[in-house]
Amino acid sequence: MKILTLTFLTCARKSCKPEPTSYPLHPTSAELEIIPVDFNPLFLRALLPRLDWPTLRILCEAFGLPGLQEEAPEEDALFLQPEEGGAMEDVEVQGEKGKEVVEDVEKKGEEETREASQLAKDLHHLLLETTMQEGKLVCGCCGHEYAVKEGIANFLLPAHLV
C-alpha cells in the first residue's frame, strides 16, 4: 500500500468517520518496501493540489522517513527552471508573443518542456513507490487495528463492529 493511498483511508466504522481522530490511520510495526513505478511528472504536477500535505508530514514521521518541508511546494518547484535546464531557449528567440503561447499550452497540461526537479523525483518516490508491506493500521478513535499483509490492507470488520 502506497503512502498516497494512506492519505485517502480512514476507519471503516461509520461511528468513527465523523471523528477527526480517525484520520489518518496510524501505522505500527510497519515494514516498508520500495516498488518502482514509472515516473510521470505531468501526473505529479496535476496531483499536487490534491495532496493533503499536513497528513503526509504526519505519515512520514510515523514511518521514520525523512521529514517533509513545512508547506506544500509550488508547482514550479517540481521542475528545473529554464536557465537551469536550458529547454526554453527556442522561446526566447520567438520573443514575448511566442512565450505566451508556450505558457498557455503548459497551463492546459498538454506539454511540459521543463525537466523534473529532484523534489519531484523525491515526491514520486515517497507517494507512489514507498509501500507499506506488513504491519497494522490503527484507528485513533476506536483503536481497531487493520492488518496489512503482503502490501494489502484488510478493512473487513468483524461482525460485532459492523
Under a CB-based contact definition with an 8 Å cutoff, are residues 7 and 51 in contact? Answer: yes
Query: 109: which strand partners?
Result: none
Total binding residues toward another protein, as defined by CB under 8 A: 41
Number of other residues whose CB lies within 10 A of the CB of residue 89: 9
CA distances from 95 to 44, 90, 91, 99, 107 (A): 30, 9, 7, 6, 19
Q: How far is the CB of 132 from another protein (least distance, A)?
A: 11
Near another protein by CB under 8 A: residue from 33, 43, 76, 84: 43
Near another protein by CB under 8 A: residue from 21, 28, 40, 118: 40
Q: Which of residues 77-96 bind another protein (CB under 8 A)?
A: none
8-state DSSP, 161: G
Q: Is 128 in the site for another protein (CB under 8 A)?
A: yes
Near another protein by CB under 8 A: residue from 28, 33, 37, 103: 37
Q: Is 4 in the site for another protein (CB under 8 A)?
A: yes
Number of other residues whose CB lies within 10 A of the CB of residue 53: 15
Q: Is 5 in the site for another protein (CB under 8 A)?
A: yes
Near another protein by CB under 8 A: residue from 90, 98, 118, 152: 152
Q: Report the alpha-carbon distance of residue 49 to residue 61 in Å, rounded.
A: 21
Q: Report the alpha-carbon distance of residue 94 to residue 91 in Å, rounded.
A: 5
Q: Which residues bind another protein (CB under 8 A)?
A: 1-2, 4-5, 8-15, 17-18, 23, 35-38, 40, 42-43, 45-50, 109, 128, 146, 150-157, 159, 162
